[in-house]
Amino acid sequence: MKRHHKPVANCHACQLNLDDHCWIYEEPRSQWQKHRQCPGFENEELYQQFDEWQQKPTIRDRRKHKLHGSRKRPHDYFPRQPIDRRKLDQPERDRLAEVRPERAILVQLIGARTPRSVAEDSLAELARLADTAGAPVVGTIAQRRSKADPAFLVGEGKLGEIQTLCRENEANLIIFDNELSPTQVNNLDRALAIKVIDRTELILQIFATRAASEESQTQVELAQLQYMERRVPDQRQPRFGAGIGMRGPGETPLQMRRASMRSRIRRLRKKLDSIQARRGKTRDHRALPSACLVGYTNAGKSTLLNALARADVYVDDRLFATLDTTTRMVHLAAEQQVLVSDTVGFIRHLPHRLVASFRSTLEEAVDAAALIIVADAADPYVVDHLRVVDETLAEVGAVGQPRVLVLNKTDTEAGGEALAELQETYPESLPISARGRIGLDELKHAICDAMRSE
């Protein structure tokens, strides 16, 4: 009986062959697992030593190339060798080329004084963000603690539940609703052997995929670099990089990476400053007054702009479908015209770096003669969303302008049921339906009145 092996296309996998039977072993980050086995073979004991190698630690002496321990690693049995992909059969190439879709587990740490409704809304919003990023949610875990664990954010017992849930649902991504420190990300990555990100990184990834114009791409890159700047430590690289003829220990790879990132950040800031100056000149030369649509993400701002201006702005039932500012001319009552701009939507826990990076875009709201705040009346947490909008507008400096509050989606069942209560809370609000073009004339009159009072 003949046994031989071969590596699989220079990746972290190897193939074992025993006569006509074969196995594929692959390494997901830190542990090996059997991926495929040909049916009809029963002599498992021949490979027991190979399969159970991880039960006892193995230490390699790199200087003497010796192994210490009772079990060897798979690559000690089967050293990796170069292999030509063209020599693999087509099914093997297809298997290697297949990209496994991400399946996400959501984890949330709830503070002792956080209301349950707020926590549920935040977790539901995180699920929508994951779906927008293309990662379907297969499970959720929440824990209420008075104080976050400094090492893992959640307790060790909950960490075991997360690992079990990931294994049962074959999840390969964990998304935390809370912001994680670099140390916590590193500890969770080692403990769970699964990719771990937080809410901030997820939002940045969505913005990176949605950015279309040069300005939005520059803004997103700046926010990403500022986020990654404090996460650059890499334990796999040597700390010192001294060379012959250099004084002192030299600059560490960590310092060089940080210096490179800071240099790129400075260049991006200069680029955004020039864009901001150009935008300011364009606004100064406008002959018409301007109004700005602001509000929570996916509240219907782009749909409302299309309804007011009969435009064809991109609309999608997803979070952050709009990143770039779009301006259209709208004809109001009494032959008055106004420029209405659609801006990026707000969201709970919007990263401050992202707000700072998109300041040039949000200046449309700062310099507008009137703000049209669009709220989704069908959303059960619309009051909390309006509070987030007010806080974000105050953060960017959009205060003092006259405001028109619009309750959108009142033609839906949920919106119609909540309309009476919302109008009691906000008596000056206007119920409309951007999709059904209901209440647009009243909105135009309200915009005219706001322009006169400015």
Please report which confidence band the pLDDT of residue 43 belongs to, taking 50, 70 and 90 as the band edges.
very low
State yes or no: pLDDT of 362 exceeds 90.
no
pLDDT at 416: 87
pLDDT at 79: 40
Beta pairing partners, 139: 105
Please identify which residue in the block is written with the tokens 């509240």: 299
Contact 197, 168 (CB under 8 A): no
Q: Give the DSSP per-residue string, 207-245.
A: HHHH--SHHHHHHHHHHHHHHHGGG---TTS-S----TT
pLDDT more than 90, % of the chain: 29
pLDDT at 94: 56
Strand ranges (E), 257-346: 290-295, 326-331, 337-342
Cα(first)–Cα(last) distance of the chain, in Å? 90
Identity (one letter) of the amino acid at 355? V
pLDDT at 258: 79
Please report which confidence band the pLDDT of residue 208 belongs to, taking 50, 70 and 90 as the band edges.
confident
Check residue 63 and give left, alpha or beta (phi > 0: left; psi -120 to 50: alpha): alpha
pLDDT at 313: 73
Q: How many CB atoms lie within 10 A of CB 16?
A: 21
The closest alpha carbon to 345, from 326, 368, 367, belongs to 326
Please identify which residue in the block is written with the tokens 């379907």: 136
Whole-number Å distance between alpha carbons of 175 and 165 = 13
Q: Give the DSSP per-residue string, 133-186.
A: TT--EEEEEEEE-SS-BTTTBS-HHHHHHHHHHHHHHT--EEEESSPPPHHHHH
Please report which confidence band the pLDDT of residue 377 belongs to, taking 50, 70 and 90 as the band edges.
very high
With residue 331 as reference, give the H or E element that holds it.
strand 326-331
Q: Which of the two residues, 39 and 109, has the higher pLDDT score?
A: 109
The closest alpha carbon to 368, from 335, 347, 396, 333, belongs to 396
Tens digits of residue pLDDT in 80-95: 444 444 455 555 545 5
Pull the structure tokens for residue 6: 């071969």
State yes or no: pLDDT of 19 exceeds 70.
no
Pull the structure tokens for residue 208: 């990176």
Return the top range by mean pLDDT from 40-49, 227-236, 279-288, 418-427.
Answer: 418-427
The rounded radius of gyration (Å) of the Cα atoms in the chain is 28
Q: Which of the two residues, 28 and 92, has the higher pLDDT score?
A: 92
State yes or no: pLDDT of 73 exceeds 60.
no
pLDDT at 325: 79
Please report which confidence band the pLDDT of residue 251 belongs to, taking 50, 70 and 90 as the band edges.
low
Q: Give the DSSP per-residue string, 6-37.
A: EE-TTSSEEEEEETTEEEEEE--TT--EEEEE
Check residue 292 and give left, alpha or beta (phi > 0: left; psi -120 to 50: alpha): beta
pLDDT at 99: 54
pLDDT at 245: 43
Contact 17, 3 (CB under 8 A): yes
Q: Which of the two residues, 321 and 68, has the higher pLDDT score?
A: 321
State yes or no: pLDDT of 220 exceeds 80.
yes
DSSP 300: S
Cβ-in-10-Å burial (0-12, 13-18, 19+) of 414 comes to: middle
Whole-number Å distance between alpha carbons of 155 and 191 = 13
Strand ranges (E), 19-172: 21-26, 33-37, 59-61, 66-68, 104-110, 137-144
pLDDT more than 70, % of the chain: 71
pLDDT at 162: 93
Tens digits of residue pLDDT in 287-330: 788 899 999 988 889 899 998 988 777 677 677 777 777 888 88
Please report which confidence band the pLDDT of residue 61 belongs to, taking 50, 70 and 90 as the band edges.
very low
In 3-state terms, what secondary structure has residue 385? Answer: helix
Beta pairing partners, 375: 407
Please identify which residue in the block is written with the tokens 């030299």: 250
- Sign, CA dihedral 180-182-186-187, equals negative
Q: pLDDT averaged over the chain?
A: 76
Please identify which residue in the block is written with the tokens 């994680």: 180
Average pLDDT over residues 214-230: 85
State yes or no: pLDDT of 42 exceeds 80.
no
